[in-house]
């Protein structure tokens, strides 16, 4: 890995450089979200039934993606099946920590939006702590909280810029489709869902790079 940094542009550039060999396995892990979007559009009732199940499955798939990316960064040859097996073995902490992080962020937002954002950023790397560092539910939350300590603004900025860039790319794709084809409201929503799915591999690589950079920076500060 290159020098540790929290700067969004170098992280994003590095993400694009690394994602190629693992893009399709990561896209497979992201595809259930797109499938759910299609089902919801075609059969809203079935979509409502499946949505809670997806809320449980999504953190597990995300954990598999993070582990696959990390193995690739270590110059190993990650297999999709191995990544899924690894994530399934950590299914309980991955799901519970996601629910707890969301709950804590929502509770903090009751007072003001700023505390909610603060807590959300502090806990944003919990899935990485669980999937990559073998932490449990509370251990993962604590690991993320301590890792971000002292670098909150850097992590916030890194995540904000990533969200803005990927969001803008999605808007451009949807806008282009609207201009060149009369796809209707359904088509627009499907294109938006497809665009969101297509950028998920970049998101996962970026988050792992951010997580590993924070670890290295913390290690450098301690030495």
Q: How far is CA 2 from CA 5, 73, 215, 216, 221, in A?
A: 9, 11, 13, 11, 18
Write out pLDDT tens, residues 74-110.
988 878 999 999 999 999 999 999 999 999 999 888 8
Instruction: Please check the confidence at residue 1 and state whether its pLDDT lies above 60.
Output: no
| Inter-residue contact 117 to 101 (CB < 8 Å) | no
Domain residue limits at 197:
8-222
What is the pLDDT, as a whole number, of residue 223?
Answer: 65
Residue 3 forms part of a structural domain: no
**For residue 32, which of 66, 63, 55 has the smallest C-alpha distance?**
55
Residue 50 forms part of a structural domain: yes
Tokens representing 100 are 């707890």
Count of domains for the chain:
1
Q: How far is CA 174 from CA 36, 37, 125, 132, 146, in A?
A: 19, 16, 30, 35, 39
Residue 215 forms part of a structural domain: yes
Residue 2 forms part of a structural domain: no
What is the pLDDT, as a whole number, of residue 100?
Answer: 96
Query: Mind giving me the DSSP string for the chain?
Result: --S----HHHHHHHHHHHHGGGHHHHHHHHHHHHHHHHHHHH-HHHHHHHHHHHHHHHHHHHHHHHHHHHHHHTT----HHHHHHHHHHTHHHHHHHHHHHHHHHHHHHHH-HHHHHHHHHHTTTHHHHHHHH---HHHHHHHHHHHHTT-HHHHHHHHHHHHHHHHHHHHHHHHHHHHH---HHHHHHHHHHHHHHHTHHHHHHHHHHHHHHHHHHHHHHH-
Residue 186 forms part of a structural domain: yes
Instruction: Please check the confidence at residue 111 and state whether its pLDDT lies above 80.
Output: no
Distance CA 96, CA 156 (A): 23
Read off the pLDDT band of 48 (50, 70, 90): very high
Residue 1 forms part of a structural domain: no
Residue 190 forms part of a structural domain: yes
Residue 153 forms part of a structural domain: yes
Instruction: Please check the confidence at residue 185 and state whether its pLDDT lies above 70.
Output: yes
């Amino acid at each position: 890995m290159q020098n540790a940094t929290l700067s969004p542009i170098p992280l994003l550039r590095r993400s694009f450089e690394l994602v190629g060999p693992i893009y399709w396995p990561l896209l497979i892990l992201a595809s259930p979200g797109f499938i759910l979007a299609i089902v919801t559009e075609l059969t809203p009732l079935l979509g409502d039934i499946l949505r809670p199940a997806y809320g449980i499955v999504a953190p597990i798939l995300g954990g598999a993606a993070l582990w696959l990316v990390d193995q690739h960064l270590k110059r190993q040859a990650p297999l999709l099946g191995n990544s899924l097996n690894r994530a399934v073995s950590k299914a309980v902490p991955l799901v519970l920590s996601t629910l707890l992080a969301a709950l804590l962020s929502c509770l903090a937002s009751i007072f003001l939006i700023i505390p909610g954002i603060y807590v959300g950023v502090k806990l944003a790397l919990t899935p990485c702590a669980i999937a990559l560092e073998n932490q449990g539910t509370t251990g993962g939350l604590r690991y993320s909280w301590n890792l971000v300590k002292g670098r909150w603004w850097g992590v916030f900025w890194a995540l904000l810029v990533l969200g803005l860039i990927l969001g803008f790319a999605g808007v451009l794709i949807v806008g282009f489709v609207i201009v060149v084809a009369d796809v209707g409201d359904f088509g627009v929503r499907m294109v938006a869902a497809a665009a969101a799915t297509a950028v998920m591999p970049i998101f996962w690589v970026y988050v792992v790079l951010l997580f590993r950079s924070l670890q290295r920076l913390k290690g450098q500060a301690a030495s």
